[in-house]
Structure 1
Amino acid sequence: MAVDLTDDEEDNPIKDIFVQSTDCQNDAIYSFMADRSFTFKQGLTAADCEQKSDILGTWQFTGSVLNFSSACTIFSSQINLNEDETAFSIESLLNIRDINNQLVEAEVTYTYTKN
């Protein structure tokens, strides 16, 4: 599904949500430690971000399911790990509000790479 998220005077929906998102939204870093703790930081390194996240918790990877536990909440997601284990992707079905304020259901794939 193509979605137009940018208010740029053009009707130009595309499938790449990343290029239409703000630097603050794209500033997302997972850190997985050997002791099974993790951090998720969003909007902390990009300039002038209003919404910031700094989440701590624990993680477990079993089969192809990645489990996160933080603040009494457990989130489980099937992930696709690449062959050399330098990146993983998660697919989610989301309702995204486009530039015309319409809700669009879209399957979104988030890909995180090892830094």
Structure 2
Amino acid sequence: MCNTENVGNELGLTDKNHACSCGTSGHSAEAASISEDAIREHYLVEGMTCSHCVSSVTEEVTALDGVESVSVDLNAGGASRIMVVSSKPVAVEAIRTAVTEAGYSLVSA
């Protein structure tokens, strides 16, 4: 018989159906101030398995010129979807380079 009382398996991840996948319970006002005319692009990234992976990719992609925010729907063991919100177009190759710098692979479209 399996004892499931007091098991601490919380990984700090959110359900993929949750409105946000950043893994935090609070958000800054900056995230809410993204303009309506911002550009939103979606990409698939392979190799991410935890919140540290998400942080690494988010940090690298956010550093690109024009990027306002990055959100990640983590799919451990599969391709995770990232949404990049920017004030101007960001080249796919710039996204690919940032993801590679973080140690992961952008899935070809």
Task: Name the TM tier (shorter chain).
Answer: under 0.3
Higher relative contact order (CA closer than 8 Å, sequence separation 6+): 2
TM-score of the two chains, using structure 1 as the length reference: 0.21
Question: Which of the two has greater strand per residue?
Answer: 1
TM value normalised by structure 2: 0.21
Which structure shows the bigger proportion of residues in helix conformation? Answer: 2
